[in-house]
Homo-oligomer: A and B are copies of this chain.
């Protein structure tokens, strides 16, 4: 910037103001400075700005490096980068592991002022991280809703609707003894899913086959084994609703371990985030959840809050696609 000041014959203050379109700079001067800046490829020094203003131009995505389903994470990252490309923002990935308090990374970010905005996932109904960030006034968005009576930006997939549609699709195929492979217990969307499932059961008159011990963050082997066990009982379900593609692979394996056939003895409706399940078994019924869109929405929400928008207007819910059968 000193170079710019020298080249234009102005003071650094004037240059600084001219570059950010301050009102008290003459129109011609402004244009001249901006032209020269473009010419020599001036880029504001991030450290200088950050030191002076406290603005980091950084968004942090806080991830659990053990639980998070893999494909899901890269999609979110891509979605976020799509939105922040063309802004001065950088994306930093802040990890935490099972052994740590999930609040740790958030506290670190806030205490060191390392980010202007934060995105968290694995959101809980009563989420200490959201509460903490609200208290400390740092803009954030959650992937998934909370339920604390506090308002903040979020993006969520409508898992209540998903579970409901899934049950109705199964009922439509004459299935009426249904089991649910739930999201991780404790996360908000566990509740949404379970409620959607239960309400649709009432509507359709189908009944639930308890399968409570199984959730999608268990290991493939676990899920497979428990499914096989369940399917060998005489009161076995004739339909499954699965909240994640990886779990669905395990469920199907378990079904087949028990000597049963998908589409004949049992139907399975599953969420998926990439179009792979139909390659796996054509008989599967799928609902698509687009995590790239989620990433974009979350980024937009945080940037919006940073930009001064009302947090209450930065909430979005993504509606599930229909339940889709295979189409060759």
Contact = CB atoms under 8 A, between A and B. Distances in A.
Interface residues of A, number: 45
A120 interface: no
A252 to B, nearest CB: 7
Interface stretch (A25-33, A67-75, A161-169, A175-183): A67-75
Contacts of A111: 41, 43
A50 interface: yes
A68 B63 CA distance: 20
A276 interface: yes
A276 B73 contact: no
A265 interface: no
Classify the secondary structure of A's interface with B.
helix
Nearest to A90: B92
A93 B91 contact: yes
A253 B274 contact: no
Contacts of A280: 249, 279-280
A51 to B, nearest CB: 4
Interface stretch (A77-85, A124-132, A141-149, A314-322): A77-85
Given A51-B51, A58-B92, A65-B82, 12 more contacts: A46-B50, A47-B50, A47-B51, A50-B50, A63-B77, A70-B71, A70-B274, A73-B74, A73-B77, A81-B95, A90-B94, A280-B280
Which 9 pairs across A and B sit closest by C-beta, in order of nearness?
A: A81-B95, A47-B50, A73-B74, A47-B51, A249-B279, A70-B71, A70-B74, A65-B78, A74-B74
7 contacts: A46-B112, A47-B47, A51-B51, A63-B77, A70-B75, A73-B73, A73-B77
